Amino acid sequence: MEKTQKKKSSLNIIPRAKHSISRKYISKNALKVLYRLNKAGYEAYLVGGSVRDILLDKKPKDFDITTNATPEQMRKLFRNCRLVGRRFRLARVIFRSEVIEVATFRGSNLIFKSNKKLDNYIIGHNGMILRDNIFGSIEEDAQRRDFSINSLYYNIADFSVRDYTGGIKDLHKGTIRLIGDPEISYREDPLRILRAIRFAAKLDMTISYETAEPICQLAILLHNIAPARLFEETIKLLHGGYGEATYYLLRKYNLFQLLFPLVSSNLTEHGDSYVELMIIRALYNIDQQLRKNIRVNPAFLFAAILWYPLLENTKKLIYERNISYIDAFSLAIHNIFDKKFQILAIPKRLTLLIREIWQLQLSMKQCYNKLIINHKFYAAYYFLNLRAKIEKNTELHKISKWWKNYIALQQDQKNNYNIYI
């Protein structure tokens, strides 16, 4: 880890001739919003991940804009505008094929220390910001952002890039660095812990010493995040095309077992348990699919992560209750998705498919040709294949080969399903 110095960077303006951002890399809808704000007399900047990605020669996923116009002023300016968010009030300018999010400059949160009761700024007892609608200047906004590499502003007025926090230098060094005091920053928004991991894996960068140092101590703060939000962030971590690299970083900072407590007893020093081998192999395969722009259903990954804890629970139930394997297996599935064992809220649409992948593992052992070949079958078949390779199980290999031959005989059917859909 690279050690960084605690110091505020002064404003660095990079003129158009000295950076690689061109309007041809920016969506037409984002440009429309920028130009209209600018024409109406407001400051308007492209900010965050899109600026960072273009400077790194990557294609941005979305385009966020920041301005000194208030949400109400933006609603008057754009007929296709909707104001959303209570915690962070912002405007969404809605186009046919794209939604552009526009936020007003955030003001300094030091105002909270004045002990005034503010309806538009609320902080919890644990330091987490619950509502943040204090508006301010671009200088204040820059200091309120999470990482220096996400605090770069592309000015539509003169096409320059404004850097208030040393983000350009960190981009060149390949450093993920929090703005301000890391402990305060993590307490304000614990999800920044996971974002530091995600950006480091995604961008192949190093987390600075001061940014990394508090992670293990403050990871418990993630329990304060709503399970649905934590699930969304976990999908971004493990299902973005760089899941395997992310997994190793999560393990390094003892975060994976926090997100998936059911696997904690199976994590080893050398990473060679069935659970770990299954997770690594599944993430590798999914990364390869996503990089080919092939759609992947997250249910396959969660089925892989939780499979061996499911088998352990099944054996435990058979021993404790003296019930059949089928009954124990069904009850174990119910237990796995019990909310008290989860920090993540896995949506029902996924748990239903996960259940089917698991239940088909039992059906496939019988090797009878009554199963319907559809997307669920293919997911279960490749899951069976994965198990055979992980366990080096001769019986599973034979079963997998039988189904492979069975599939080959069904050439009259459409067998080009995506295996993970």
Catalytic residues: 62, 64, 146
3-state secondary structure of 65: strand
Residue type, 237: L
Parallel, antiparallel, or unpaired: how do β-strands 64-67 and 99-104 relate? Answer: parallel
- DSSP annotation of 150: G
CB 68 within 8 A of CB 105: yes
Residues 6+ apart with CB under 8 A from 404: none
CB 69 within 8 A of CB 52: no
Spatial separation of the C-alpha atoms in residues 111 and 121, rounded to whole Å: 9
CB 215 within 8 A of CB 10: no
Spatial separation of the C-alpha atoms in residues 155 and 93, rounded to whole Å: 19
Spatial separation of the C-alpha atoms in residues 206 and 249, rounded to whole Å: 11
CB 154 within 8 A of CB 51: yes
Pull the structure tokens for residue 93.
């300018």
Residues 6+ apart with CB under 8 A from 177: 4, 147, 148, 149, 166, 170, 208, 210, 211
